[in-house]
Amino acid sequence: MNNFNYLRASDVQDAISQSAREADVKYLAGGTNLIDLMKYNLTRADILVDINRISDHREITELPDGGLRLGAFVKNAATAWNHLVEEHYPLLSKAILAGASAQIRNMATNGGNLLQRTRCYYFYDANVPCNKREPGSGCSAITGYQRIMAILGTTEHCIAVFPSDMCVALAALDAVVQVEGPQGMRSIHFADFHRLPGDTPHIDNNLKPGEIITGIDLPAKGFSKNYSYLKLRDRNSYAFALVSVATGLELDGETITDARIALGGVAHKPWRVAAAEDFLKGKTASGENFRQAAEIIVQGAVGYEHNAFKIELAKRAIVRNCMMALHPESQLPGAQPSA
């Protein structure tokens, strides 16, 4: 870890003005990813601005339109176990609880969850090329061991995946990210927040310099009757997903009136395909229809030597999770397969 100075921001404006200094300034929230990256010397900073003492954005509040605002500085565990989240957005609650460990969820903030970096082995190994770590140096994963890598939206520059579980649910729920920066406040639709690698894989998201996430808004529709989060991984808990699926269904009898399906562990951002969700509207909630939707979602997937299995795994995970969403009460701890 490089030597750095430490400052505390009193409010969001104070933090933003600190970020304008002539130095490499980074915001420090939960620190669970940033401090780890700094220990490996993968990230450096001249100044860390601690934003944990800011008194705003620490609550979960109801929005006038029936939605919910998750304060950016609320911890992941407090969010998952908030009674409004559990009651109206159980999909989000389940996804958060499938991620990391209880200790990390007590530390990590909602805003920070969106900003965590990939866990690609080659990104973490400073001795090998990585376009995300060192733009232009090349991608070691493409010719390396790709078990955990992406199958969708990849380029020859990067096949890393975005590791969050929480964000898979936020994508399915059509969340909106509230940010504040040197140019004022703005809202970013969740689908536009994270980026595909393209030829700039070192840029994970569309935040501008100095911007701070202040909140995450959830629209009123929470899919609290029929939802499921499934996470498939190499050990049952405390591991990143090979494939994860967030499903929310709205049903009229056995007919699907609305559907949301988002995938994690397969791309550089949570993966959603509107055509598949449109296909399901008006159809019967059946394995065959879910399989057809899965085919649409995974269309265009490219597998490599060690991760080609993920293509079929993703399709089966989608079908299984949609069936699980018909019986959400059967969900198991750790988002394991049920029903």
Partner 1 sequence: MTTDYPDMQAETVENFTPQKVTLTVNQKPVELEVLPWVSLLDGLRDYAGLTGTKKGCDHGQCGACTVLCDGERILSCLTLAVMNDGSEITTIEGIAQEGELHPLQKAFIEHDAFQCGYCTPGQICSAIGMLNEGKAKSREEVKELMSGNLCRCGANTNIIDAIMEVKNQLAHE
Q: Which residues are at the interface with partner 1 (CB under 8 A)?
A: 1-6, 28, 31-32, 35-36, 38-40, 48, 50, 52, 77, 81, 100-104, 106-107, 236-238, 332-334
CB-nearer residue toward partner 1: 36 or 125 = 36
CB-nearer residue toward partner 1: 81 or 145 = 81
Say if residues 336 and 236 touch (Cβ distance below 8 Å). Answer: yes
In angstroms, rounded to a whole number, what is the distance separating the alpha carbons of residues 59 and 215?
9
CB-nearer residue toward partner 1: 233 or 269 = 233
Say if residues 236 and 215 touch (Cβ distance below 8 Å). Answer: no
- 223-226, Cβ contacts within 8 angstroms, sequence gap of 24 or more: 223/89, 223/91, 223/172, 223/173, 223/248, 223/249, 223/250, 223/258, 223/260, 224/87, 224/88, 224/89, 224/90, 224/91, 225/250, 225/251, 225/328, 226/250, 226/251, 226/325, 226/326, 226/328
CB of 80 to partner 1, least distance (A): 9
Place of tokens 């703005």: 186
CB of 1 to partner 1, least distance (A): 5
CB of 234 to partner 1, least distance (A): 13
In this structure, what DSSP letter does residue 328 have?
Answer: G
CB-nearer residue toward partner 1: 29 or 319 = 29
CB-nearer residue toward partner 1: 66 or 333 = 333
CB of 235 to partner 1, least distance (A): 9
In angstroms, rounded to a whole number, what is the distance separating the alpha carbons of residues 77 and 245?
20
CB of 4 to partner 1, least distance (A): 6
